[in-house]
Amino acid sequence: MRVGIDSSLESGNWNAPVNTDTNEFAYVPIRENNINKKMHPGMETSYDEFKDSCRNFGITLPFRLQKEFTHLDPDFSYLSYGDQNARGKPLDRLNQDDLLVFYAGLKPIKQCEHKIVYALIGLYVVDRVVSAKEIAKRDWHRNAHTRRVCDDTDLVVFGKPNISGRLERCLVIGEYRENAYRVRKELLEEWGGLTVNDGWIQRSAVLPQFKEPVKFKKWFEQKGIGLMARNN
């Protein structure tokens, strides 16, 4: 799943920072811009939560964003991720212990090979997938799709504690080739391939899937990257 703020206008027209020397990064979510969904009063989330994490990289969050609400999804603090309509439908096919892996386009804080770094930033080992409408009011605060008035197409995935979360350091996976950002060829081989043409990793309604997820999991575990249940 591609997540996080990026250069498209609807997603925020900005990219969160990454230090390519250490692979430390800031997670910043997209804007809450779905005008057809009303927020439950008092459950809005703001960009105030993300100003300090950007400042740690010497980057100031744009003032225009500081006035807006976030669509905080995934919310690593609750190990939740929600989606809806056609894009969210594949989530309904996830079973317990399947993998849901998140990547983002990040902007280097110093000059490097790429203007944008595509990297894995989070991983959930699936605990359960539920309809957002079935989630009790006392738990609405746990995901962006239940913080607002949801419908029958909204689904929420919860990751298993201790083995799910935000990566402590991102794992760079992208390179620019054939006029697009794609997963590096050697990684495609190590992972056993993806169900997208030549590792194409732009935003899409059709979600990439691992052809051999066991190979990917083995690769990931060998990296020894810690997971944490917080957004930054």
pLDDT per residue as tens digits for the range 50-97: 999 999 999 999 999 988 899 999 999 999 999 987 665 788 899 999
Asked if residue 57 belongs to a domain, the reply is yes
User: Does residue 223 fall inside a structural domain?
Assistant: yes
pLDDT greater than 60 at residue 131: yes
Indicate the average pLDDT of the chain.
Answer: 92
Host domain of residue 98: 9-228
Q: What is the pLDDT of residue 34?
A: 64
For tokens 């190979």, what's the residue?
215
206: pLDDT strictly greater than 80: no
Q: What percent of the chain has pLDDT over 70?
A: 96
213 falls within a domain: yes
Instruction: Name the pLDDT band for 205 (thresholds 50, 70, 90).
Output: low
pLDDT at position 86 is 62
**How do residues 4-59 score in pLDDT, each as one tens digit?**
999 887 788 899 999 999 999 999 999 987 656 788 999 999 999 999 999 999 99
Distance CA 109, CA 127 (A): 35
Residue 146 lies in a domain: yes
Residue 4 belongs to some domain of the structure: no
pLDDT at res. 145: 94
Q: Per the domain annotation, does 2 fall within a domain?
A: no
53, 71, 125, 99: which is closest to 208 by C-alpha? 99
In a domain, 106, yes or no: yes
**What is the rounded CA–CA span in Å between residue 54 and residue 14?**
12
Indicate the number of domains in the chain: 1
| Structural domain includes residue 212 | yes
Q: Which residue has the higher pLDDT, 91 or 159?
A: 159
Q: Which residue has the higher pLDDT, 192 or 208?
A: 192
